[in-house]
Amino acid sequence: MAEGCSVLLLQYLKSETASSSSSKPRYWKVTNPTLSPSHLQDLPGFTRSVYKRDHALITPESHVFSPLPEWTNTLGAYLITPAMGSHFVMYLAKMQENSKSGLPPNDVERFLFVVQGSATLINASGADHQLTVDSYAYLAPNFKHSLECDASATLAVFERRYSPLENHVTEQIVGSTDQQPLLETPGEVFELRKLLPPSLPYDFNIHIMDFQPGEFLNVKEVHYNQHGLLLLEGQGIYRLADSWYPVQSGDAIWMAPFVPQWYAALGKTRTRYLLYKDVNRNPL
């Protein structure tokens, strides 16, 4: 009897796993995260979020959404800002029915990545692009545009004050992750895509990095670049300075210059994360 019950339980769990994985849209856990382990959910005040001098882990149970300035029918949660020590901003924008984006401040460039839903990007000339999950857009500083949404969409947004170079200008870019080629990563096993050109006009790039379960960074990185990271899929362990953090889909990380950093993918599914990195400028 016990053996029969065990078989039935195993079959049930398999069917539940299969149905949940096939019915959920990509990056579903970013907008519907597991807020905390089940045995800790009833502990008042529990959070995995951490803020330190040279890094921060901001987990979904700590997100505070409020109306985004200059946007209509849109709630935003700022995850990384200069108040931490960064020179860029990273936030989640939850667009609701009949919503519209505002413009960033003067001389500020913007990068949009669609995590959930869809929206239409319209520029000053009237040209439009439909952005769906895994689509993105780079908007140059002072470039007139708007993002409009009829139903709902969740975006990861990066903004920073552009660092100009003489005789170099950036242009609007619209693309999707699967259109970008896999790049060589000598000495590493992860898969890498870059969503922006590596050319001099661009003072930052956005990387998509994929790890299969059990894969990890070979280099224990320490460098002058800043990072802003959003974990889109999977789970693992992130080392930041002398601390080791369990992380999962929906978590955001800020890494200051020269903080030791390292990642290992755990669990049974791949890890994918979205990574901001400043590039092409003399640190002086």
Give tens-digit pLDDT for 248-276: 999 999 999 999 999 999 989 999 999 99
192-223 exposure pattern, b = at least 16 Cβ within 10 A, e = fewer: bbbbbeeeebbbbbbbbbbbeeebbbeeebee
pLDDT tens digits, residue range 111-158? Answer: 999 999 999 999 988 889 999 999 999 999 999 999 999 999 999 999
For every residue of 96-107, DSSP letters joined together read EEEEE--PPPTT
Handedness of CA 6, 9, 15, 18 (dihedral sign): negative
* CA neighbours closer than 13 Å in the CB half-sphere of residue 78: 13
Mean pLDDT for the stretch of residues 206-231? 98
Among 24-33, 158-167, 252-261, which is the least confidently predicted range? 24-33
Q: Is 28 helix (H, G, I), strand (E, B) or coil?
A: helix
* CA neighbours closer than 13 Å in the CB half-sphere of residue 87: 14
This prediction's pTM: 0.89
| Confidence band of 82 (pLDDT split at 50, 70, 90) | very high
d(CA 178, CA 28): 18
| Confidence band of 87 (pLDDT split at 50, 70, 90) | very high
Do residues 205 and 279 touch, judged by C-beta distance below 8 A? yes
Q: What pLDDT shows up at residue 13?
A: 38
- Under DSSP, the state recorded for 167 is T
